Amino acid sequence: MLKLLGGLRRFGAREQSVSGTTVAAVLNESPVPRVLLFPDGQLNGDLEVLVNGRNIAFLGGLDTPLAEEDRVTIFLHGARGYPGG
């Protein structure tokens, strides 16, 4: 399951059924444009990506393995606003 929060909701429903065995696979299948997710080939620093409420920075990053029941949540940092803004 993929959850889009805040400004990312404009790319689709709040909760979406997206499958993948890693966080990277789920992000690649998400409706959020790749140019926003990976503007320079790396994960956008203005995004937070959580797996079951835990930041992937403290897990396995984009290679974090996922089980079928895991929930991936993506949102933009509130303090800096929209990337580039």
CA distance 5 to 2: 10
Residue 41 lies in a domain: yes
Does 73 fall in a domain? no
CATH code of the domain containing 13: 3.10.20.30
Q: Does residue 76 lie in a domain region?
A: no
Measure the CA angle with vertex 28, ends 24 and 32; round to 5°. Answer: 120
Residue 8 within any structural domain of the chain: yes
Could you tell me if residue 28 is inside a domain? yes
Dump pLDDT digits (tens) for 3-26: 998 888 888 888 889 889 999 999
Report pTM: 0.84
pLDDT for res 85: 47
Residue 85 lies in a domain: no
Give 54's strand partners: 51
Domain count across the chain: 1
In a domain, 14, yes or no: yes
Name beta bridge partners: 78: none
